[in-house]
Amino acid sequence: MKPVPFTETEAYQHAKDEYYYRPLVAGEHLFTYVAHVPPGGVMPPDAEEAKLFELSLLMLEGMLVGTLGDDTVVLSTGDALHIPRGVAFGVSNETDRTAGFVLSFSPPPRVDLASVKSDAIAKGRVVLEPDEMAERLGPLQFPPRESWEGSPGVRLLVMASYGLEIVECGGAVAKALEAGADVTAAVLLAQEPSREQIADAARRLGITNEVLFLDGTAGEVTIEPSAKIPVVELIRRVKPDVVIMQDPEHAQHDLDPDRRLIALLYAESLAVAGRDWRIDECGGHPPCTIPTIYYMTPQSPNCIIEISSVIRRKVAALDALKSQMEFSSEIISKSIDSTLLEYLVPDAEIRSDPLRLGLEMHSQFERANALHHGLAGHSGAVIGEAYRREGPFVLQHLIE
């Protein structure tokens, strides 16, 4: 038998949906195809079909939100997933790039490669020739496209005060992941019951690295050397090219406990991480160059990220932070009278449910911020996420 170049095979519409597959192997005990899901494409879970097959999936390119039974999983380039028989599985592409993956079936469905095309046409499905695939969906790149900013292996470190900050910069994080960045998130203050929720929120954004918790104590944050050591160890170990952290200017006027000191602690730790400071106490890692720093939620932004293609993923990550949503609901309910709350949230059932109320208000906050820095402003973005880059931009020439 000869190898089959999948980029030279026809593609068939899976059903009346935006999901196309290219059959590759149809054997006695195995069936394999390559699937393409364009931006906005969906393959809904099928409980009846799930009873028939055990599946193995390998992501070739892009990012998908998968539904696996009652769970939601984010699938990125290089991820593998086992889908047990009887567990309904579906995918949706909430990004602005076509995603592709290999899917294998056991036992195989009865497929005759010689008649797949005629069967698809008889069912009224779209059949695309290889050149039509490239025109309609864009070429599938394998190996994947060059990573973020054209530099392979860009490392992005999110240094969060609280878990919510991972979601606040979630648009930039999700887009960096799509472009191939390696993202690590660390949180200084997080109570034990909320840590799994924070980790779940990170997964929904697409972060596959384990969220790191730095075990700070609320109300007791300092910038003493002992407080810097775990932060410096983290920075030197990860060796980030880009850091996202809270804006010190914003933090100065925010009355959340510890936020001002955390911003200063992180800034000082980034400074000494590049010096010959306490090498042995900080894990023995050599000093590393101070990376490019972007401040989230700045008072005076100097750059905007267009996040319209990933905004739904950001909202899905918010939904994972149950403890934060309930806490915010309590604060909001005490801060405004019932008439104003009814104006903001007309649905009485949502107002009476602390979890749903917190999520609704945070969703409104995100929408307001995104529109302020997008359509409602003059940035040129539609749905924007604002940042302040530390220091001047050095350009080789003027850009659009």
Mean of pLDDT values over 263-281: 95
Q: Is the pLDDT of residue 141 over 70?
A: no
Q: Is the pLDDT of residue 145 over 50?
A: no
Mean of pLDDT values over 208-235: 95
Given this model, what pLDDT does residue 40 score?
86
Which of 14-18, 135-139, 211-215, 287-291 has maximum average pLDDT?
Answer: 211-215
User: What does the pLDDT look like over 308-361, one tens digit per residue?
Assistant: 988 988 999 999 999 999 999 999 999 999 999 999 999 999 999 999 999 999
Average pLDDT in the chain:
89
Neighbour order of strands in the sheet with 303-306: 212-213, 182-187, 155-160, 242-246, 292-296, 384-389, 303-306
Q: How many residues does the chain have?
A: 400
pLDDT-derived band at 197, boundaries 50, 70, 90: very high
CATH 3.40.50.10320 domain extents, the chain: 147-400
CATH tag, 6-137: 2.60.120.10
Q: Is the pLDDT of residue 137 over 90?
A: no
Q: Which residue in 96, 313, 125 sits closest to 203, CA to CA? A: 313
CATH tag, 147-400: 3.40.50.10320
Mean of pLDDT values over 174-182: 88
Cut 0.75: pTM above it: no
Given this model, what pLDDT does residue 147 score?
44
Instruction: Write the DSSP string, 119-178.
Output: HHHHTT--EE-HHHHHHHH-PPPSSPPP-GGG-TT-EEEEEESSTHHHHHTHHHHHHHHH
Q: Count CB atoms within 10 A of the CB of residue 339.
A: 7
179 against 51, higher pLDDT: 51
User: What does the pLDDT look like over 64-74, one tens digit per residue?
Assistant: 889 999 888 88
3-class DSSP assignment, residue 249: helix
Q: Which residue in 105, 108, 132, 121 sits closest to 10, CA to CA? A: 132
Q: Work out the percent of the chain whose per-residue pLDDT is above 70.
A: 93
The dihedral of CA 38, 64, 109, 124: what is its sign?
A: negative
Q: Is residue 229 packed enough to be buried (19+ CB in 10 Å), middle (13-18) or exposed (0-12)?
A: middle
Given this model, what pLDDT does residue 2 score?
62
77 against 38, higher pLDDT: 38
User: What does the pLDDT look like over 283-297, one tens digit per residue?
Assistant: 999 999 877 999 999
Q: Is the pLDDT of residue 153 over 50?
A: yes
pLDDT-derived band at 112, boundaries 50, 70, 90: confident
Mean of pLDDT values over 367-396: 91
